[in-house]
Structure 1
Amino acid sequence: MAPTSSRWKRGLFAARSIRAGEQIVRIPHELVLTAEKLDDCVKKLLSTEYDWCPLTLLILAEQHKGEASRWAPYVSCLPSFGDHHSTIFWGKEELKFLECTRAFRGTAERREMISDEYNSVKDVISSCPHVFGEDISLFQFAHAYATVVSRAWNGALSSEISMRPFVDFCNHDPVSHATVSHDTCKDATIIAERDYTKGEEVFISYGKRSNAVLAVDYGFVLPNNLSDQAELWMEIPWNDPLREKKLELMRAFNMPTLQNADGTESGELPVILEEVLDSADWEDGVVLPQARAFSRIICLDSLEDIESMIQESDTLQAPLAYQPRKDVAKETRAMNFLLEMIQESITSHEQALLMLQSAPDHINKIRRGMAEAVLDGELRVLENSRGWLKDCLPNGQEQV
């Protein structure tokens, strides 16, 4: 195996022919970067509540060492400033194209997380100048943080997060069955799942990742990503006279909505939609289960209706609201409500794509392409969900 450039800028290529089943990478455990390898000065001061922060600090410490670092050859190959296209580094003008997508919320959440963790460890950094140098800016911290998130794995025999030099140069192919595994010595290994010819790039799978997740966590996207998802932001309105009863109902049946900062329930819940490719999935009721259930609850219009839904659930011995209402009119109303939400999201995505087509020339071409892939993927899922919902309406009773 040899690291070199690829369409992803970095990748691992076969230096010779490789046969399926052959071990192509093996990284001894002692060369793996873990939080335990932080300077004792840092470990004594650092809280244990973080996931990515300790490795972020380790990368910053090794970068400060320069050629004196044990991992200098590896650290010197990590993405430099400007090479990382995670959406956390996008400007307001670039992010505007993603406002209707999961990536937009994910970006805001990741930025807040990084900022909070940076503020919590600034004193640790300033207390150990021999480890980090004079100062580490928020931007430097964010860049190292993004590098760790895009390259780290959970440990072999624990929840320990670590980075495996060389292994993380393998790029992602969703159809690959090759993954990073570990032997009894905790050494990181990759086994070829197929034959490779000399010079061919070797891929592994990072798992099922939507383009929204790939854009935030890794800084790239895939065309026609079959793992794409869409998100509907559903809520029980504040002016709903049955709001408290509905929230109580959702809590009782293990469907609580998100909490506000003060601990109260927001009545809001982001609901994930996935593409349906098999009609049997729809017939089995496993398609859009949460979105359909939440719509039925939102559309409850009286205390008697709430009691009726509970009785229907008890009779069918099914989770609350996860089965169609016996009253065809009420079921039709709930599904049309969901259809309206999906259509609104479709319209938002179509408008964003039109805006992207007329984007000014100074918008980064890579990020423009990423935004288009995220929008296209989510739009495909939304249109797919709309089609299935229309087909399931009793007697085709779609509202006009």
Structure 2
Amino acid sequence: MLSITRIANHCWLHRPLFTLSNRPSITKLKLSTFSSVEVSCSSDEECDNFLPWLERKAGTKISSVLSIGKSAYGRSLLASKSIEPGDCMLKVPYNVHSEWAPFMSRLPQLGEMHNTAFGHFPEFFDGITFDDFRHAYALVESRAWRSTRGVSLIPFADFLNHDGAAEEVVLSDEDKKLSEVIADRNYSPGDQVLIRYGKFSNATLLLDFGFTLSYNIYDEVRIQVNIPRHDPLCAKKLELLHVHCTPAIEDVNGFSSSQDSFTIKEVRSAKGKGRGIPQSLRAFARVLCSTSSQELSDLAMEAVQNDGRLARHPLKNKTRELEAHWFLLSKITRLVEEHNVSIKSLEPSSSPFMFQKFALRKQMARDLLAGELRVLKSASEWLKNYCTTLSKS
């Protein structure tokens, strides 16, 4: 059985520095060459014997068009010959995937482990420090792939760096018991072949892989909105939201939203339809800004008469509609201010030693905050335009 997935694009590339979770499913790989930035690559002589060794272990040819090379971001896979669309670039049999996968998948997860074990049971960890363990954990986790078979390591494929600037097809053939990569563009000898780890925001890339992108079109901001406990209608509003709430929906990366947690994405046009600001968030604000039981009853009746979704249409009371969106605007404006303060606190230190030591971490933090700030500002501009247009109507 073939499983095929095509994924849309973003750009840049890095190698994982550390990780706290597995890479995405093997059916979500995406390949390209890195075209937006010049990155010099060269052959990696230290690894010249790796592919022949792996092919002897597998008992079959894995790749005749790729070789292991070095780039500014670590080891990588390079095209060793010209490659055309439709060519199979990489074919790794399941029998050389991690033979320890069944065992590893049954080990305690990170949240189930207690670091005090290193101190209280030295006989089990003789000569092993927590840094040793963290290094081993990061090495495995940053190279582990999820597929229909579970979690496994795929030798040779783990040299693929992250990009995502082009469409590509990846097949996981359960019948032939192998994973393969099919090119959908031309590659010249020396081009680096890359994968996209997923449609991940900088927050996810930083947490799971230890790097960020200077510009990431998948950046998003998770915000939480609560009904104040001192609101005299708090109980009724919560009940109304509970009755008419939309079940949590997982996105393409497996993340889900709850009743009072919302994910904002970048709004492309201040005068457009506000795509990126969830309708559920606007509905929440409309309920929150209601000031009487009658208004809440009207919202409940409207939901029943339509598709069951609560407050998805503009409120008939224009004053309340404005209040709801000014409320959202004030919350987002506050987040914009907080992000600006945080970014300013990351300005270079006057101490050369401190600057060198934390330069990479500060840069990743700036990338993360700058991406979220861009999203928040786009939402702010859309809300300002919406309120201005509504007040003039």
Q: Common fold, TM-score beyond 0.5?
A: yes
Letter in 1 for 2:379: S
TM normalised by structure 1 equals 0.69
1:186 to 160, 177, 180: 177
Contact 1:12 1:201 in 2 (8 A): yes
Q: In the alignment, which residue of structure 1 is the partner of 2:300?
A: 310
The answer to whether the aligner puts 1:119 opposite 2:102 as a matched pair is: no
Q: Distance in 2 between matches of 1:218 and 1:324?
A: 41
Q: Is it true that 1:238 corresponds to 2:232 in the alignment? A: no
Q: TM-score, normalised by structure 2?
A: 0.70
- For residues 183-240 of structure 1, what are the alpha-carbon distances to aligned partners after superposition, in whole Å with 9 as ceiling and x for unaligned? 2223121112211111111112222111111111111112221111112221122222
Q: What amino acid is aligned across from residue 245 of structure 2 in structure 1?
A: N
Q: Are 2:31 and 1:2 aligned?
A: no
> 2:88 maps to which residue?
23
- Is the 2:77–2:159 contact (alpha carbons within 8 Å) kept by the matching residues of 1? yes
Asked if residue 352 in structure 1 is aligned to residue 346 in structure 2, the reply is no
1:330 aligned onto 2:324: no
Which segments of 5 or more consecutive residues in structure 1 lack a partner in the other structure? 54-113, 258-266
Structure 2: stretches of 5+ with no match in the other structure:
1-65, 249-257
Deviation track 1:312-360 (CA, whole Å, cap 9, x = no partner) reads 2233335112222111111110000000011011111111111112445
- The number of equivalent residue pairs is 312
TM-superposed CA distance for 1:256, in Å, is 7.9
Check 1:36–1:226 CA distance in 2 against 1; reply closer, same or farther (3 A cut).
Answer: closer
Question: Which runs of 4 or more aligned residues in structure 1 lie more than 6 Å from their structure 2 counterparts after TM superposition?
Answer: none
* Separation in 2, partners of 1:34, 1:245: 56
Aligned 8 A contact 1:118 1:141 in 2: no
Aligned-residue Cα RMSD (Å) equals 3.2
In structure 2, the partner of 1:384 is 378
How far apart are the structure 2 equivalents of 1:209 and 1:4? 26
Closer/same/farther in 2, CA of residues 121 and 144 from structure 1, 3 Å limit: farther
Structure 1 pair 309/135, CA: closer, same or farther in 2 (3 Å)?
farther
Distance 2:116 2:151 in 1: 18
Check 1:255–1:171 CA distance in 2 against 1; reply closer, same or farther (3 A cut). same
Residue 393 to residue 161, structure 1, CA distance change in 2 (3 Å): same
Identity %: 31
SS in 2 for 1:153: strand
Q: Tell me which amino acid in the other structure corresponds to 1:2.
A: S
Do residues 374 (structure 1) and 374 (structure 2) align?
no
Q: AA paired with 2:201?
A: S
Change (3 A) 1:122 1:161: farther
Using the alignment, how far apart are the partners of 1:21 and 1:323 within structure 2?
Answer: 48
Q: Is the 8 A contact 2:163 2:195 kept in 1?
A: yes
Query: Matches of 2:137 and 2:169 in 1, distance apart?
Result: 23
CA distance in 1, matches of 2:183, 2:116: 41
CA distance in 2, matches of 1:24, 1:127: 47
Contact 2:76 2:159 in 1 (8 A): yes
